[in-house]
Amino acid sequence: MARRTQEQRKAETRARLIDAAAELFATKGFHAVSAEAVADAADRTTGALYSHFGGKEGLLLALLDVWKERTAAQLSDEVASAPDPGTHFAAMWGSITRPAADRGDSWLLLEVELWLHGARDAQVGSPLARRYAEVRQQLGEGLDQWAEVTGTRLPRTPYETGGLVLGVLLGCALQHRLDPGAVPEQLVVDGLSSLLGLRTPCDVHDPSAPVPPRPTKGKRS
């Protein structure tokens, strides 16, 4: 009874191949990685890969499925455990930019790699678009519920809010990856707060204020 069944062995091989593919596709790129390299990294052979997924393309699609579930679960956890949007934003930003234990620092790379394939191939793009829609929805609903609890009101629908928040996070993460100093966490959290109408109102653009002390910490004059 200690011996693993075929089912278990099959599932493990699948998982090993998908994990290896996630790592390699992210760090090197789909077309730059051979099927054999993926199989080697998973301690299997190309034969097993073809048996399970029919080829590299099939492996990519399977990876997309797993990726969907993982990120959805992670998002739910984060939304549920945040006391307020500020820390929520900081947590999300951290999970995007900080390298995590289970997924190196390649999360963003794989995300962009998948996006590129989705933009070029509808077979990948269609499920990917659904996933983005779900993220917008979950993100927006979470923020909307928080707003309701605290008596504030979002200036946009939850879905629209989710789109803008996701946009800021993605766009800033892209810049952060190439130049971390250019996009500090505080700036992102601050920008997201502005977007949700949570900032100190009415005083930032009052023309009558004589000389509002101008922040000067940004790069370059």
52 binds DNA per the rule CB under 7 A: yes
Contact track, its own copies, 44-63, x by CB under 8 A: --------------------
- What's the length of the chain? 221
Q: Which of 136, 139, 143, 189 binds its own copies (CB under 8 A)?
A: 136
- Residue 40 and residue 61 in contact, taking contact as beta carbons nearer than 8 Å: no
103 binds its own copies per the rule CB under 8 A: no
Which residues in 3-32 contact its own copies (CB under 8 A)?
Answer: 27-32
Least distance from its own copies to the Cβ atom of residue 123, Å: 13
57 binds DNA per the rule CB under 7 A: yes
- Residue 165 and residue 195 in contact, taking contact as beta carbons nearer than 8 Å: yes
**Inter-helix orientation angle 122-149/56-81, to 10°:** 0
- Residue 124 and residue 62 in contact, taking contact as beta carbons nearer than 8 Å: no
Taking contact as CB under 7 A, which single stretch among the options 49-57, 95-103, 126-134, 148-156 is the one that binds DNA? 49-57
Q: Which of 47, 99, 181, 201 binds DNA (CB under 7 A)?
A: 47
How far, in Å, CA of 44 to CA of 50, rounded?
Answer: 11
The tokens for 210 are: 């004589």
Binding site for DNA (CB under 7 A): 6, 9-10, 12-13, 33-37, 43-48, 50-52, 55-57
